């Protein structure tokens, strides 16, 4: 069975949560007889049949980007040709240009859309886009959400409950590098034995302003790994506040990321807006057996992190609540270690990549069977 994934960006251009999901599906699907290809837009230009790990990727030239939406003239032709060879088209929402391509190329294949997130920030543009959005969701065969929490809290998904299925995002421990003693020792020397770790893009919805405020209140060590549009402002704020307990380490290779995940005391994930639909790095923290801190925003973050069991759930956009969660874990390492162990158990029970792939495989086969 051949699947064509279509999304606005992909490795190696960007490294986000959606890209990780596509990668895990493409690689994990091989063992289930699923051949995956990925089409995405890139400012690097058009290219067919590039190899990434064990699957094939294609890119169309991105002509312009408006309101975080890439547009490409080449994509219509590229998508049409690749879709003709596929058994299933797998879309990744939101991306308004994708909806246009779907209708204008008159797709005749079965379709699946993974609904990664509501559109939260561009409220004015959402009003203009809404008719196309709902036409697209009515037209596709299956909509997949990553958690029951998101289905319950999304006004959009409530309208399509008859075609929504829940498949939690899963990750594969075997795709993460082993941590070398040398790398671990280098980071331990730089950062010390205990620290809170944030991993992710430095974006407006990640709640990092509140994390800096919490770090100022607690004076506890916080390591921030990642880059993004908020980086300059966050560093300026930390410098002006004299936060010598906050360490910005930038974007790092997977080997260093694995080392930080292994070494950290706890994983802190302060996202405060619904743009954070799931939280892959929060899930990674669970996979590494770390106690978790997240915020209650009605999304998958509190499907991963269960209050009092795998960690602590703070109030969104509330630095005092975040600081209190940090102090609670820091002051009780025994309870924190127990929560970390329970986080690992929850990962193994609900969030393994192979379980995700099996669920999608069942969806794919059901659609092909109907056809």
Give 208-220 pLDDT, tens digit per residue: 999 999 999 999 9
Q: What beta strand segments (E) does the chain contain? A: 2-6, 35-42, 47-52, 55-61, 64-66, 69-71, 88-93, 111-115, 142-145, 164-166, 196-199, 222-225, 246-250, 266-268, 292-295, 311-314
The 10s digit of each residue's pLDDT in 25-64 is 999 999 999 999 999 999 999 999 999 999 999 999 999 9
* Separation CA 258–CA 74 (nearest Å): 38
Least confident range of 79-83, 123-127, 185-189, 243-247:
123-127
What is the edge-to-edge ordering of all strands in the sheet holding 292-295? 246-250, 222-225, 196-199, 266-268, 292-295, 311-314
pLDDT at 17 over 90: no
The 10s digit of each residue's pLDDT in 284-340 is 999 999 999 999 999 999 999 999 999 999 999 999 999 999 999 999 999 999 999
State the chain's mean pLDDT as an integer. Answer: 95
State the pLDDT confidence band at 141, using cuts at 50, 70 and 90. Answer: very high
pLDDT of residue 371: 57
How many Cα atoms sit within 13 Å of 307 on the Cβ side?
6
- The DSSP symbol for 8 reads S
Domains and CATH numbers, the chain: 2-172+352-370 (3.40.50.2000), 173-350 (3.40.50.2000)
pLDDT of residue 68: 76
pLDDT of residue 361: 97
Residue 35 phi/psi, 5-degree rounding, is -100, 115
Q: Compute CA distances 353 → 168, 178, 345, 349, whole Å.
A: 9, 18, 15, 11
Average pLDDT over residues 69-89: 97
Q: Which of 206, 230, 186, 231 is nearest to 281 (CA)?
A: 206
* Separation CA 315–CA 299 (nearest Å): 13
What is residue 288's three-state secondary structure?
coil
* Separation CA 244–CA 220 (nearest Å): 10
Average pLDDT over residues 249-267: 96
Q: What is the pTM of this model?
A: 0.89
Average pLDDT over residues 5-24: 92
pLDDT at 369 over 90: no
Residue 52 contacts by C-beta under 8 Å, 6 or more apart in sequence?
A: 11, 12, 23, 38
pLDDT of residue 128: 87
């Amino acid at each position: 069975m051949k699947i064509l994934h279509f999304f606005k960006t992909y490795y190696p251009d960007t490294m986000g949560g959606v890209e990780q999901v596509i990668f895990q599906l493409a690689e994990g699907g091989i063992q289930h007889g699923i051949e995956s290809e990925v089409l995405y837009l890139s400012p690097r230009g058009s290219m067919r049949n590039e190899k990434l790990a064990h699957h094939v990727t294609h890119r169309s030239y991105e002509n312009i980007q408006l309101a975080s939406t890439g547009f490409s003239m080449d994509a219509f032709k590229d998508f049409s040709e690749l879709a003709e060879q596929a058994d299933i088209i797998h879309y990744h929402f939101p991306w308004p240009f994708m909806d246009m391509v779907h209708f204008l190329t008159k797709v005749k294949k079965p379709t699946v859309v993974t609904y990664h997130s509501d559109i939260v920030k561009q409220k004015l543009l959402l009003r203009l886009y809404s008719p196309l959005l709902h036409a697209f969701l009515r037209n596709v065969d299956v909509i997949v959400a990553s958690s029951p929490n998101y289905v319950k809290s999304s006004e959009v998904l409530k309208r399509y409950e008859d075609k929504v299925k829940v498949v939690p995002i899963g990750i594969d421990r075997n795709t993460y590098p082993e941590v070398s003693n040398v790398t671990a020792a280098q980071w331990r020397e730089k950062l010390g034995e205990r620290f809170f770790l944030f991993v992710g893009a430095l974006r407006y919805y990640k709640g990092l302003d509140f994390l800096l405020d919490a770090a100022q209140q607690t004076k506890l060590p916080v390591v921030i790994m990642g880059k993004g549009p908020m980086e300059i402002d966050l560093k300026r704020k930390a410098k002006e506040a004299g936060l010598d307990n906050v360490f910005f380490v930038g974007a790092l290779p997977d080997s260093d990321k694995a080392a930080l995940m292994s070494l950290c005391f706890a994983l802190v994930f302060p996202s405060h807006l619904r743009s954070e639909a799931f939280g892959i790095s929060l899930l990674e923290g669970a996979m590494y057996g770390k106690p978790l801190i997240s915020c209650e925003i009605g999304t998958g973050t509190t499907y991963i992190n269960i209050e009092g069991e795998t960690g602590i759930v703070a109030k969104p956009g509330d630095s005092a609540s975040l600081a209190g969660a940090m102090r609670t874990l820091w002051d009780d390492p025994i309870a924190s270690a127990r929560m970390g162990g329970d986080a690992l158990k929850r990962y193994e029970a609900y969030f393994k990549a192979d379980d995700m792939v099996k669920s999608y495989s069942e969806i794919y086969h059901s659609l092909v069977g109907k056809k």
